[in-house]
């Protein structure tokens, strides 16, 4: 399902002009990372995709749905959004209930709810924790519950806002596995991240925002190769990318495999 954003502007009631004319197309099944300095407008942008925010001007289409014409609960059939802070999202007494809530709320029958919840729990390695209260889990696992509860809704578009913040290496690998699995299923995955290595390892397209505008948008290698421009929105390319550049590699590299290939070549 395509996302079409045309000349989107948004001002918060307090007067902050957070988005200043954004036009983007995100195709079905794309894996996109959104990067940029604090306050660049990343969260504000993605909150337009599920109707949590409405454009001050311009438009956002999710498939053929104009977000101004559909409620948040309708848009939840097409777009799943995992909040930056899981504690804003979780409210059930057990992990199992939490993960089943979304699909139940979409009106799916019992068998489908069970199978979607079971699948999402397995993908996030929570199958053994269904009876636990989310608030008895560590912040790391609460994040996984937040992911699972959105994945269980089986939307075409899944948005993660800063999924790896405060996560250890094992959990970052778990989250990368979730992204990979969703990609294999043809889902569109949009991830806001300050974790440039996670971005470089897992996303083919990178959009850099700065002060409410698109600064760069393209293939990950092309975008991550623009060190000076990225610096204006306080994003550093991965260390390997910068090292490759200093070694005079012709191609921009963004992970160990690419680095080693360029080194041999």
Ligand X SMILES: Nc1ncnc2c1ncn2[C@@H]1O[C@H](COP(=O)(O)OP(=O)(O)OP(=O)(O)O)[C@@H](O)[C@H]1O
Which residues lie near Mg ion (CB under 5 A)? 42-43
Question: Are the CB atoms for 14 and 20 separated by under 8 Å?
Answer: no
Minimum CB–partner distance for residue 39 and ligand X (Å): 4
- Contact with ligand X (CB under 6 A): which of 38, 166, 184, 248? 38
Minimum CB–partner distance for residue 230 and ligand X (Å): 14
Q: Residues 182, 188, 190, CA angle at the centre, nearest 5°?
A: 100
Q: Which does 44 bind (CB under 5 to 8 A by kind): Mg ion, ligand X, none?
A: ligand X
Q: In this structure, what token pair is assigned to residue 216?
A: 């760069």
Task: Output 43 or 167, the one with its CB closest to Mg ion.
Answer: 43
Could you give the CA distance from residue 222 to residue 89 in angstroms, rounded to a whole number? 35
Could you give the CA distance from residue 53 to residue 68 in angstroms, rounded to a whole number? 9
> Considering the rule CB under 6 A, would residue 166 count as an interface residue with ligand X?
no
Q: What is the DSSP letter of 69?
A: G
Q: According to CB under 6 A, which residues from 14 to 33 bind ligand X?
A: 14, 16, 18
Q: Residue 40 phi/psi, 5° resolution? A: -65, -25
Distant-in-sequence, close-in-space partners of 6: CB < 8 Å, separation ≥ 6: 23, 58, 59, 60, 61
Give the number of residues in contact with ligand X, rule: CB under 6 A: 12
> Considering the rule CB under 6 A, would residue 58 count as an interface residue with ligand X?
no
> Considering the rule CB under 6 A, would residue 41 count as an interface residue with ligand X?
yes
Q: Which residue is nearest to Mg ion (CB)?
A: 43
* HEC per residue, 97-153: HHHHHHHHHCCCCHHHHHHHHHHHHHHCCCHHHCCCCHHHCCHHHHHHHHHHHHHCC
- Contact with ligand X (CB under 6 A): which of 3, 32, 44, 75? 44
Task: Output 43 or 171, the one with its CB closest to Mg ion.
Answer: 43
Stretch that binds ligand X, among 13-21, 126-134, 169-177, 181-189 (CB under 6 A): 13-21
Using CA of residue 17, residue 165, residue 74, residue 205, what is the dihedral sign?
positive
125 in helix, strand or coil?
coil
Minimum CB–partner distance for residue 41 and ligand X (Å): 4
Task: Output 43 or 149, the one with its CB closest to ligand X.
Answer: 43
Q: Which does 14 bind (CB under 5 to 8 A by kind): ligand X, Mg ion, none?
A: ligand X
> Considering the rule CB under 6 A, would residue 89 count as an interface residue with ligand X?
no
Q: Which residues bind ligand X (CB under 6 A)?
A: 12, 14, 16, 18, 36, 38-44
């Amino acid at each position: 399902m395509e996302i079409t954003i045309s000349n989107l502007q948004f001002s918060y009631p307090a007067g902050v002009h957070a988005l200043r004319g954004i036009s983007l197309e995100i195709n079905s099944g794309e894996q996109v990372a959104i990067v940029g300095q604090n306050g660049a407008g990343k969260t504000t942008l993605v909150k337009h995709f599920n109707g949590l925010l409405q454009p001050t001007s311009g438009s956002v289409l999710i498939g053929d749905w104009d977000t101004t014409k559909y409620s948040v609960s309708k848009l939840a059939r097409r777009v799943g959004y995992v909040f930056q802070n899981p504690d804003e999202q979780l409210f059930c007494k057990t992990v199992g209930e939490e993960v089943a809530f979304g699909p139940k709320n979409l009106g799916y029958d019992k068998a489908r709810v069970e199978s979607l919840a079971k699948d999402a729990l397995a993908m996030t390695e929570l199958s053994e924790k269904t009876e636990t209260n989310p608030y008895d889990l560590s912040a790391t696992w609460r994040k996984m519950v937040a992911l699972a509860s959105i994945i269980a809704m089986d939307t075409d578009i899944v948005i993660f806002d800063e999924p790896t913040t405060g996560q250890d290496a094992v959990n970052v690998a778990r989250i990368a596995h979730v992204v990979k699995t969703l990609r294999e299923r043809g889902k569109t995955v949009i991830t806001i991240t300050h974790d440039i290595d996670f971005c470089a390892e897992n996303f083919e397209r990178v959009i850099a925002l700065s002060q409410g505008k698109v600064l760069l948008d393209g293939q990950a290698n092309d975008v991550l190769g623009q060190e000076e421009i990225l610096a204006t929105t306080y994003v550093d390319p991965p260390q390997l990318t910068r090292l490759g550049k200093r070694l005079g590699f012709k191609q921009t590299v963004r992970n160990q495999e690419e680095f080693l290939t360029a080194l041999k070549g």
